[in-house]
Every structure is written in structure tokens, then in C-alpha cells.
A and B are shown apart, each in its own frame.
Chain A
């Protein structure tokens, strides 16, 4: 007998893909939206409800908040469903057979440690048990099976135990990796489909519901100017830059990263939009000259060698990056003479200045240092 469907992208599930959806599939999609896990569904309705969610989200674009919400729903749903099925199979009792999970995860190469023939050293077993709060490493997956999950950066290879090409995993890690892999495949699916091909108004209805889910999990930020900078909420890369940077990464760290980060964090932390100018957000240039620039200059001074010592023209370059053009004197009326450079994404920073990127637990949730800051600086206030 085939195991229940857990992977909407498995070959088995893909047989049910079509451009027309019945009432049952819509009802199930709504249940998934509400976070309900229903077992015993027909695989056809089940698979189609996943596709419905993703096709609805794709109507708003695969990088939209609706798409992110749909991905998150799929990830949570897959994970919850696996746990529910495992509980039915005796998880948590002495009768539980670890191989149950191996059979459950379709299109995913997972073995028990015994099947993989990997042996852990005794001292490592002790350390790992303590680190995983008593949960043993039961499974082995070839490391490249985890590649889709690495893309989201929720998972890091450095947190896993790799040996002989296998990542050894606790049951919780195995399920997380699997659910994350499925969630990442949602992106490919949403890119490959066009929800508009489905002539059904109900897709718009689902897309609206996804938008509501997305908004409910976001702080109600509004477009407004920022408040005084709070260093304790800065991400690790900015803190590393403030501490001073070596000669290889100085220019990038100070002129590109720190300048954009501090200016946006202080002046326009939310939705500044394209072609934004500093003058759109502040009436007093002293916000730049007294709150932003001194912090940049102090960090430049801490660089090795100090940035302006051998490159005094970088001061002009900083003004340029702030949108004032190549000028020594900052005046609000010059704002907009050059682009106000936005904060680079984490991926770009890792590439340009790898030594600055030392992610902490909050980094995993964001793709841009400014989002890290706004979430920590303003989330509590909004609540």
C-alpha cells in the first residue's frame, strides 16, 4: 500500500496536476490556509489543494508576499502532516520503528544510520545527545539531498554532522530538512505555472486570503521616517563594520554597506521605494551630519589602516552614496543629485566581504540587514 501523500511535487502527486479544480480541492486549500491538517484525503484532492494555493499565489508574482505565505503554509503543513502520521505509527513509544520515516518521505534519499553503515564515535554520540536535548541521530541523508533546504538559509551545513558524504540527522532535523526542501520547490513550481491560465475567480479569492495571512504575520509598519539609531539592534555584519575592517574590505564595508545601512535605518527604514531621496523623509540635514555621518567616520577611523588616511576622497564618495552627489558640503536641496544607494542584500555582502558575515539566529529570518534591524528595533513597539 502506498504511504499517504506528503510531497506535493512527487511523481505520484504530479499526475494530479491540471488547470481545473473541483469544489473539494478549494475546500481543502482553505483548510490548509487555516493551518488545519486533515488526513485520509484522496491524494488527488490533496495534491490539487497544494497546487491551488501555489497557483493563486503566483497570480501576485513568485516573489510576492502571497508567494512567501503560500510557501510557509506548505512548509508547515508538510511538517505537521509527517508528525501526525508518525504519531499514528507509534512515535514516542518503544514500538516506533525509525524506518517508518524513511518510507514516508517520497523522492528523498533518507536512510537510517544503520542502513547507511555510519558509526559515530562514542564521545560524539554523548555530545550530540546533549546538544539535541536527548534526541539521538537516527538518520543519514546524502548531503546533496539538503541543497534545496540550504537555499533558504534556515539550514546551515555547519550545524549538521557530516561524514562520508552523509548528513546525520535527528528525526526533527530530518523532517525540518524535508519540509524545507519541499517549501523551496514551491518557488520552482510558482515560476513554472501561470495562474491566469486557470479561468476561475476562486483563485483570486485564495490569493486575497494568502495576502491576509501574510499581513497578519507582519508588523503593521507604515511609511514614515525612522527614529534614533539603536546599536543593540544592529545585525552582526554592521557591528563588525563598526568595529573596523581590514584593508581588503574597507571601502565596501564603510562606503557601500555602512553608509546605506545607517542612513536608511535612521531616515527611512520602511518602504522607502524606488528613487527615494533623503529630503523626502527629513527636514533637517543635521540628522545626516550629526547622527549618521559621525558614526560612519568613527568606523572608518577604526579601519586598518584608517580609511580616510590614505583615501580622503572616500568622504566624497560617501556623500555620493547618500544621494547628495560628489560634494563636500551636505545640503538638503542637493538630495537626489545622485542615487541614494540601498542596503545590499546578505548574499551580496557575503560575496563582497565574507569576513563581515557572521550570522546569528535572527539572520536566518532575513535577507537584508535593514530588515534585521527594523524587525528588532520596531517590532516590539508595534505590538
Chain B
């Protein structure tokens, strides 16, 4: 697994395994309004500005050309072949396991494993919770991208948002801003999101990370004591920072909040969220670089990329 697919394997995948039914309805229903992009030789999606009028045309295209990668825009156009007449765009959040700023595995940069993919999954589920609870959004769709997850939002309210508004939502769900000090302990709203992000990071923290954020050595050491970490975690769930503040002192606490904000801001690929003309890997297509399927996920809780996203040709590679 994670080895590049050969042209023969790509052809086999599209002829024997790929099914039109695996393309989500939300794409098929708007197929003629989306721009399609293809990467034929592993050099990036340089075949762009394609309009595909019908699902059957898409089927023919994929089976006949077996592209290295296939993409569809998150945006809708009157003339997708010219990218003209923008009609709206899904709101997308992209977490890539290889780019997580903190991982508990020992993957080399650019690589992924079961552990970091599970962390990416857990994280994107947390993002979805915020979108449901605080923004009351309902049309949330998950896609396994091959090395991480896409969360695609299709509620009417988000479709016409421009980049600045998308950036504002991103800041909120990612925890990309340190809350006002007097509001840090709110039980609900943004401060809770920030606290939950902080809670998740606690288990991944190490001395090097804390020091890189400017937390003084003595305080950083004290925080990493397992008992202290447990107490801090319990208190954060309750909305309290008492032990954290006591352990880090005022300057260390401020540095720690800033560190959390910085890590939060790097969890999601902001460029994907704010770009209203983005193309994204087409669910059902093959991520040839790692030989995994890009999968539309119907049941996120039960989804396991190593069961549900591995093409047959990989299982048979031996």
C-alpha cells in the first residue's frame, strides 16, 4: 500500500472496480455545472476547464482514460468549461494526515499511517460537530481523500459565501483565534471550541513543542507531568483553566494559548476552504500516488480506510 499505481493498475481499477454508483449524488445531480480536472501522467491536474454533461460521459471518460487523478470543482458555474458564471460553491474543510502539525505516530514528513489517519478522522468529526451544534448546518458529507478527509458542506446558507466569510467560519471551527480572556470559560460558543481543540492537543504535546511556543522550560516540564495533564484535561471539559494557569503562570499561559492557536490554524488546509473555485479529488477516483481510493463515506463512524479504500489490485499485489 502507499506505493504508486502503475498505468496497468489504473486501467484495471477503472475497468473492473470503479462504479458510477460510488460517485456521490450531490456531484451527479450537479455534474454539468462543475468543472472537471484530470491529471493524466502524475504531473498535477493540468487538464482543466472540462465540462462533463452527464454521468454516462463521466463513466466513459474515466474507463477509457484511467487518469492518474480526477477532480471536480466544489463550485458551480453556468459555463464550467470557461469557469464563467459562478453560481456558488460548497464549503470545504480539508485535513491531510501527512500535514498534521502534531501527530502521535512516528511517520516521516509526507507519510501517513493508521495512527495519523485515525487522528485526522477524529479531528474532522470534531469540526463537523461544531458545524452542526453552533452553525446548525445539516448537509455535511465526508470523503476520504486518499491521505486524509474532506468535509463538504452543502447547506444553502454557505453556498454563496465569498472567501472572507469562509475564512471567518474556518477561524471559528479550527480554533484559529485566541478567545477574549474574559470569555475563555464560556460553556458554549467559540471559547468551548477553542477549549476542545486544546483538550485534543494535550495528549500530543511534548517538551519540544511547548518550548517552540515559548513556554518556559520549568512550566513546560510541570505541565507534562501526567497527573497535571489529567487534571488540566478534566478541568478544560468543565470550562476551567485553574490548574493550567497555575502551572504555566501568566506569561507561560499566554504563550500556551498562542501556541494552541497556531497549531489549530495549521490543522486544516485554509487554502482549500477559502478558495471558491477549488477542484477536489473526485470521490470514487483513484489516488494513484498512494494507490488508495477516494471514497464517499456513508457511515463515518464505521469507516476504516484500510478496509474501505484499498483497491483490489493492491490487495492482490501480495
Contact = CB atoms under 8 A, between A and B. Distances in A.
Nearest to A244: B212
Contact of A143 (B135, B186, B188): B135
Interface string B245-278: 0000000000000100110011000110011000
B224 interface: no
A227 interface: no
A158 B177 contact: yes
B136 A165 contact: yes
B199 interface: no
B259 to A, nearest CB: 10
A162 B157 contact: no
B258 A248 contact: no
Contacts, number: 111
Interface stretch (B76-84, B115-123, B165-173, B284-292): B165-173
Given A151-B164, A304-B212, A162 B135 contact: yes
A156 B258 CA distance: 18
Given A127-B183, A358-B261, A151 B189 contact: no
Interface string A202-213: 000000000000
Contacts of B169: 157
A379 to B, nearest CB: 26
B137 to A, nearest CB: 8
A159 interface: yes
A163 interface: yes
Interface string A301-318: 000100000000000000
Given A147-B161, A163-B134, A351-B270, A157 B171 contact: yes
Interface in B103-142: 109, 133-137
A123 B187 contact: yes
Contacts of A246: 101, 266
Interface string A112-139: 0000000011011001101100000000
Interface string B199-235: 0000000000000101000000000000000000000
Given A157-B190, A355-B265, A350 B182 contact: no
Contacts of A158: 168, 171-172, 176-177, 179, 190
Given A347-B163, A351-B274, 8 more contacts: A143-B134, A158-B168, A160-B190, A161-B189, A162-B190, A248-B99, A354-B270, A358-B262
* List of 3 A-B pairs having minimum Cβ-Cβ separation, nearest first: A165-B136, A144-B157, A354-B270
6 contacts: A123-B187, A143-B157, A151-B165, A160-B189, A350-B270, A358-B258
